[in-house]
């Protein structure tokens, strides 16, 4: 009789354990980690309708439209600057240690990078255009995978450069007109 009750209790305990395990696995399967934000570029990179010299910034770090439009003998100048800031969020260790989904790959926090960029298009003492953009990229990490800071930096820089390019393409006709007007009024060009 006692062995029958003991067996029933063991069976109930085993079923409860299997049910909890199944719930934990099902919970882990529903956790989705967001990937890096895709950089959307509806317009493929192409040169601007005018050229310019780079007076400030690294030529390797320029948005594609600006990099394709560089010329050493242009009166128009470009000044480009990028800044990155990093942030992190971590679920408290005491909580994640006791949370069963942690061991099935649930996120333990995330890393984020904010990129800020500014571009000035200048002709002599006249500013033809001043553009700023900001992009934020984030990615979660778990016990089993962690993004690198370099990966996030590259994604944030690519996103902010795309935004600057899109602003330039939207304003390209006005900039080209202003650049050609100043070139035609320049007495040195006659």
Residue-level pLDDT, tens digit, the chain, 190 residues: 666 666 666 666 666 665 665 565 555 554 444 555 555 545 788 888 888 898 988 888 899 999 998 888 888 899 999 999 999 888 888 887 888 887 888 888 899 999 999 999 998 888 999 999 999 999 998 888 888 889 999 999 999 999 999 999 988 888 888 877 765 655 554 4
Structural domain harbouring 152: 34-189
**Sign of the torsion formed by the C-alpha atoms of 50, 72, 123 and 57:** positive
Nearest-5° Cα angle at 113, 109 to 118 = 165
pTM of the model: 0.70
Q: Are 7 and 46 part of one and the same domain?
A: no
Residues 81 and 38 in one domain: yes
CATH number at residue 113: 3.30.160
Q: State whether 40 and 97 are in the same domain.
A: yes
Count of domains in the chain? 2
């Amino acid at each position: 009789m006692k062995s029958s009750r003991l067996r029933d209790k063991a069976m109930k305990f085993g079923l409860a354990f299997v049910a909890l395990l199944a719930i934990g696995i099902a919970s882990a399967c529903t956790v989705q980690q967001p990937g890096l934000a895709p950089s959307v570029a509806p317009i493929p990179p192409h040169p601007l309708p005018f050229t310019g010299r780079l007076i400030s910034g690294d030529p390797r770090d320029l948005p594609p439209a600006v990099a394709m439009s560089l010329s050493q003998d242009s009166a128009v100048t470009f000044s480009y600057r990028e800044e990155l800031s990093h942030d992190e969020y971590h679920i408290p260790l005491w909580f994640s240690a006791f949370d069963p989904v942690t061991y099935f790959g649930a996120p333990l926090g995330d890393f984020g990078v904010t990129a800020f960029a500014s571009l000035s298009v200048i002709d002599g003492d006249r500013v033809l255009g001043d553009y700023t953009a900001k992009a934020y990229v984030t990615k979660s990490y778990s016990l089993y995978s962690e993004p690198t800071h370099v990966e996030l930096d590259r994604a944030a820089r690519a996103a902010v450069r795309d935004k600057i390019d899109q602003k330039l393409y939207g304003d390209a006709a006005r900039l080209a007109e202003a650049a050609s007007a100043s070139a035609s009024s320049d007495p040195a060009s006659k």
